[in-house]
Structure 1
Amino acid sequence: MTLERGNAFTPVASATMIWPWGTSVAAGAVAGAASLLLNLGNGPLSMLSSGATTAIFFFAMVGGGVAILGGKGDRRARRYAGQYPWRFAAAPAMVGGAGTALVSFVLSALGGSLIGGLFGAIAAGIGTAAVIWVILGIMGMVAGNKR
């Protein structure tokens, strides 16, 4: 897959070519475990939901942040992330938003709230994606073109 301007899949290709898998998985695991432990008294579904969604959020956020700021990876992908920070930030935002929505829906459906869980999951996914997109876009604008 090439990293030319007109390619529709360029943000996804750019994000996956420089994605720090080990760092992002470790950050997601640590943050998810901490969130799970902080919510021990809230019941099993709430505990699992908060732990899993926090892990997904930090997986996408740390992965995207290290991809923008790190020194490893494909130079073309890093240049693309610096030139088009908002397009690059869309890929981690979609991963974080979709993962959060899916986990939220499944765990609320297991709790018995199917329709309300669907709308809540959509809102949680859109909110998570928006936060990740804005933070990584600003990081890319500020630090992306320095290299």
Structure 2
Amino acid sequence: MTLERGNSMMPVHAAMMMWPTSVATGAGVVAGGLTFLSALLSGSIAIASPIGWAIFAFAVGGGAAALLGSKGDRRARRWAGKYPWRWASGPAVLAGLGIGVVQIFGMGFFGGIVAGVATGAVIWVILGLIASIAGNKNS
């Protein structure tokens, strides 16, 4: 599958090729680090919550930077503007799975599944709205 015009079946890895990993990693490190420091200052040594926030910030920060930034492939950005909800499903599913696995250790099996699904849905809505409003449809 390619990113050519009219191709509506773009795989997730091709949609993510415009992902700015430096911005996404920076957002994840800052969010996870601040959450970890906050937990330490409150007297708790919780690791699942900071990792969950880091994954959330990685997905939202990277997705927003991919759509709003100048880096990345213009064909992938055009595809994301044309199919915003399909594009948003890639980061949402991956982040939801990651948070679900991490939260299983902090909340138990069913709590982790609920946290993963809920977080994936929130990320999907956030990135879908950003893609539908700011997606580059004419590139």
Note whether the superposition's TM-score is higher than 0.5.
yes
Matches within 5 A, 1:40-59: 40=40, 41=42, 43-44=44-45, 47-59=46-58
- Tell me how far apart the structure 2 counterparts of residues 98 and 59 of structure 1 sit (CA, whole Å): 13
Spell out the pairing of 1:4-83 with structure 2 (5 A cutoff): 5-7=7-9, 9-15=10-16, 17-40=17-40, 41=42, 43-44=44-45, 47-83=46-82
C-alpha distance in structure 2 between counterparts of 1:139 and 1:37, whole Å: 30
**Hey, what's the Cα distance between the residues in 2 that align with 1:143 and 1:100?**
27
Structure 2, unmatched stretches of 5+, are: none
Q: 5+ residue gaps in structure 1?
A: 109-115
**Displacement of 1:12:** 3.3
The corresponding residue for 1:139 is 130
Considering only aligned residues, what root-mean-square deviation do their CA atoms show, in Å? 1.7
1:27-74 Cα offsets, whole Å, 9 max, x none, are: 100110101111123532xx2111100000000000111111111111
Aligned to 1:111: none
- For 1:89, the equivalent position in structure 2 comes to 88
Query: Aligned pair in 2 of structure 1 residues 42, 122: CA closer, same or farther (>3 Å)?
Result: farther
Deviation (angstroms), 1:118: 0.8
Taking the aligned partners of 2:99 and 2:134, their CA distance within structure 1 comes to 27
**Percent of residue pairs identical:** 48
Superposed CA offset, 1:80-112 (max 9, x none): 01100000001110121011011111x23xxxx
For 1:88 and 1:11, the matched residues in 2 are separated by: 7
- Runs of 4+, deviation exceeding 6 Å: none
Q: What is the alpha-carbon distance in structure 2 between the residues aligned to residue 42 and residue 96 of structure 1?
A: 28
Q: How many residues align?
A: 135
Match of 2:116 among 111, 121, 125: 125
Normalised by the length of structure 2, the TM-score is: 0.89
